[in-house]
Structure 1
Amino acid sequence: MSKRITPFASRYCSTLDRLKEAIRRKRPGLLRRGVVLQHDNATLHSVNLTQQWLQRYGWEILTHPAHSPDLAPSDFHLFGPLKCHLGGMAFETEDDSELRN
């Protein structure tokens, strides 16, 4: 493993530790039934340290291709400003909510 990747992989595994603890607290039986984690094939997700963590706890990986259209950047840049624009508005009917040209 590259020395440049090691600190990031360690931090990612720490994040997985916090996720595991949150699941244990909030959904007690879920860890016994098994966890399916979805992530892409980013280097951070595929390095040995991360793979060892996932094997240790028996988490199954549901792969997701990097740069998938299901994770379109427009989603991240669209909904935040839209939420700010519509914040505080109230619509009484569906017709009131439609944008008019």
Structure 2
Amino acid sequence: MSANKVIATVFWDARGIIHIDYLQKGRTINGEYYANLLDRFNDNLKKNRPHFAKKKILFHQDNARVHTCAVAMAKIYELGYELLPHPPYSPDLAPSDYFLFPNLKKWLGGKRFDSNDEVISQTKAYFEDLDKSYFLEGMKKLDKRWTKCIELKGDYVEK
């Protein structure tokens, strides 16, 4: 036996991880859960990035139903974030999908864990060990992918 699947929601920017939420076993992410998660993220953002306090926050997320439902959109509006557009079915433009999680999965690949807590601990250690320039590189790739998407008039941006 090994640990089960662990679902993580990661909020990050060019400087690194701001907040990670690990979904409790047996729970699902719905609009209310995500809205509460946005509140927790916002608290960590204020604490970890105080220089953003008086700046407009550009917020990027994919267009999964839980992210675009009325309660989540209301929370984003309440927090005063400017939501960047994300075309439908475009994992090629979601930095966590093309950059952050694939590299984490490679690092975790082949390892066996006795518990979900061990997976969480190792995931935290992985992110803590990354050089800060790593996250900046992920944001630079987003800029390049957006440019390519525009040049391709919205067509899929391949690796």
Q: Same fold (TM over 0.5)?
A: yes
Per-residue CA deviation, residues 49-94 of structure 1 (Å, 9 max, x unaligned), is 1111111121011234445235247545323227x6xxxxxxxxxx
* Matched AA of 1:61: L
Structure with max Cα Rg: 1
- Equivalent residue for 2:69? 47
**1:8 pairs with one of 20, 30, 42:** 30
TM-score by length of 2: 0.41
Task: Say which SS state the counterpart of residue 32 (structure 1) adopts.
Answer: coil
With CA pairs under 8 Å and 6+ residues apart, which has the higher RCO, 1 or 2?
Answer: 2
Q: Which runs of 5+ in 1 are unaligned?
A: 1-6, 85-101
Distance 1:69 1:75, change over 3 A: farther
**2:78 pairs with one of 43, 51, 56:** 56
CA–CA distance in structure 1, aligned partners of residues 71 and 64 of structure 2: 13
Distance 1:34 1:67, change over 3 A: same
CA–CA distance in structure 2, aligned partners of residues 74 and 29 of structure 1: 30
Identical pairs, percent: 19
- Equivalent residue for 2:11? none
CA–CA distance in structure 2, aligned partners of residues 75 and 27 of structure 1: 25
Distance 1:77 1:26, change over 3 A: closer
CA RMSD, Structure 1 to Structure 2 (Å)? 2.5
Q: Which runs of 5+ in 2 are unaligned?
A: 1-28, 112-159
In the alignment, does 2:91 pair up with 1:68? yes
- Equivalent residue for 2:52? 30
**2:105 pairs with one of 77, 84, 91:** 77
Distance 1:22 1:74, change over 3 A: closer
Structure with the largest fraction of helix: 1
- Equivalent residue for 2:43? 21
CA–CA distance in structure 2, aligned partners of residues 28 and 17 of structure 1: 16
| Aligned length, in residue pairs | 77
